[in-house]
Amino acid sequence: MDRRDEIRPGEVVVTAPEPHDAGLVFIGRIHTPWQSRSECPRQGRQDGPVCRIEILEPWVAALKGIENFAQLEVLYWLDKSRRDLVEQNPKHSGRTTGTFALRSPMRPNPIGTSLVKLERVEGNSLFVRGLDCLDGTPLVDLKPDHCDFSPNGRTGDFQKA
């Protein structure tokens, strides 16, 4: 057991239902310099190291146009996390906080999100900065940053009105 999975003073664990109904399809893998959770940054930074997001077939065609965006929202599955904590004691602070008031990887559905800077696209690989996950973390989804996208969307709505 990773030491981060141990229960800390004050933390509350529940008997979580068996996960069975989401039916996610992992669309790729994230390659980072970090092999253990102790090495990983707690939050990615856009001046952090370049990481490679590998998109698997049949999803590579879905990258068309992604090179037009400077920033992407990346959703990933923090697959090594325990999923039964409802109150957590971050950094052994002695104070517990509810899971939904934290960005901890330990949550019922361990989805991580980061806003990353897109450096370049090469075939089925995106090179980005701003991630904070372990090497090999499964990829759930990619979306263009809504700050890049929303001005056009808003203009469209106003034109229709």
Q: How far is the CB of 23 from ligand SAM (least distance, A)?
A: 20
Q: Does 80 bind ligand SAM (CB under 6 A)?
A: yes
Q: Does 81 engage in binding with ligand SAM (CB under 6 A)? A: yes
CB 27 within 8 A of CB 136: no
How many residues contact ligand SAM, by CB under 6 A?
20
Cα–Cα distance for residue pair 43/89, rounded to 1 Å = 18
Do residues 111 and 81 make contact, with C-beta atoms less than 8 angstroms apart? no
Q: Does position 99 bind ligand SAM by CB under 6 A?
A: no
Residue 31 or 37 with smaller CB distance to ligand SAM: 37
User: Which residues are 126's β-sheet partners?
Assistant: 53, 121
The C-alpha atoms of residue 28 and residue 106 are separated, in whole angstroms, by: 21
Q: Which residues bind ligand SAM (CB under 6 A)?
A: 37, 40-44, 78-81, 103-105, 112-114, 132-134, 137
